[in-house]
Copies of this chain bind each other. A is one copy, B any other.
Amino acid sequence: MKIHNFSAGPSILPQEVLKKASEAVIEYNNIGMSLLEISHRSKHFVDVMENARALALELLGLEGKGYKALFLQGGASMQFVMVALNLLEKRAGYLNTGTWSENAIQEAKIYDDIHEVASSKDANYNYIPKGYSIPKDYDYFHCTSNNTIFGTQIKQFPDSPIPMVCDMSSDIFSRQLDFSKFDLIYAGAQKNMGPAGTTLVVVKEDILGKVSRKIPSIMDYKVQIEKSSMFNTPPVFAVYTSMLTLEWLKNLGGIKAIEKVNEMKSRVIYSEIDLNPLFKGYAVKEDRSMMNATFTLANDDLKETFDTMLKEAGISGLSGHRSVGGYRASMYNALSLDSVKALVEVMSELETKA
Nearest Cβ on chain B to A354's Cβ, whole angstroms: 28
The answer to whether the Cβ of A283 comes within 8 Å of any Cβ in the partner chain is no
For chain A, residues 88 to 145, give those with C-beta under 8 angstroms from any C-beta of chain B. Answer: 106-107, 110
- A313 CB–B CB distance under 8 Å: no
Question: Which of the residues B23, B78, B196 comes within 8 Å of A234, measured between beta carbons?
Answer: B196
User: Is A235 touching B10 in the complex (CB atoms < 8 A)?
Assistant: no
Stretch from A150-158, A204-212, A214-222, A273-281 contacting the other chain? A214-222
Q: Which residue of B lies closest to A110 (CB)?
A: B214
Interface hit among A36-44, A172-180, A249-257, A288-296: A36-44
Contact B238 A237 (CB under 8 A): yes
- Separation of A190 and B233 alpha carbons in the complex (Å): 8
**Contact in complex: B5, A37 (CB < 8 Å):** yes
Q: Which of B26, B110, B197 makes the CB contact (< 8 A) with A197?
A: B197
User: Which residues from chain B contact A326 at a C-beta distance below 8 Å?
Assistant: none
Query: What residues on B are CB-neighbors of A61 within 8 Å?
Result: none
List A27-84 residues whose CB lies under 8 Å from chain B: 31-34, 36-40, 73-78, 80-81
Q: Are B34 and A236 in contact (CB under 8 A)?
A: no
CB of A41, distance to nearest CB on chain B (Å): 10
Q: How many copies does the complex hold?
A: 2
Binds B, one of A14-22, A264-272, A297-305, A336-344: A14-22
**A325 beta carbon closer than 8 Å to chain B:** no
A202 vs B32: C-alpha distance when bound (angstroms):
34
Q: A39–B9 contact, CB under 8 A?
A: yes
- The reply to whether the CB of A284 lies closer than 8 angstroms to some CB of chain B is no
Tell me the residues in window 180-215 of chain A with beta carbons closer than 8 Å to chain B beta carbons: 188, 190, 194-198, 214-215
A246 within 8 A of B: no
A5 in contact with B33 (CB, 8 Å): yes
Q: Determine the distance from Cα of A237 to Cα of B34 in the docked complex, in whole angstroms.
A: 15
A243 at the interface (CB under 8 A from B): no
In the bound complex, do residue B10 and residue A233 qualify as a contact, i.e. CB atoms below 8 Å apart?
A: yes
Q: What is the bound-complex CA distance between A1 and B314, given in angstroms? A: 44
Q: Give the docked Cα–Cα distance between A73 and B31 (Å).
A: 28
| Contact, CB under 8 Å: A32 / B216 | no
CA distance A5 to B110 in the complex (A): 45
On chain B, the residues within 8 Å of A1 by CB distance are 32
Whether B76 lies near A232 (C-beta < 8 A) is yes
| Residue ranges of A at the interface with B (Cβ–Cβ < 8 Å) | 1-3, 5, 7-13, 18-19, 21-23, 25-26, 31-34, 36-40, 73-78, 80-81, 106-107, 110, 188, 190, 194-198, 214-219, 231-238, 241, 314, 316-317
Beyond the given A3-B33, A21-B25, A73-B78, please list 9 additional residue pairs across the A-B interface where CB-CB is below 8 A.
A3-B32, A10-B39, A11-B37, A13-B34, A18-B26, A39-B317, A197-B198, A197-B234, A235-B238
Nearest 7 pairs of A and B residues by beta carbon: A197-B235, A3-B32, A22-B25, A77-B232, A36-B195, A73-B73, A81-B216
Listed by A's residue number, 16 A-B pairs whose Cβ atoms lie within 8 Å are A5-B33, A10-B236, A18-B37, A21-B25, A36-B241, A39-B317, A40-B196, A73-B78, A76-B232, A78-B232, A81-B218, A110-B214, A110-B215, A110-B216, A196-B236, A196-B237
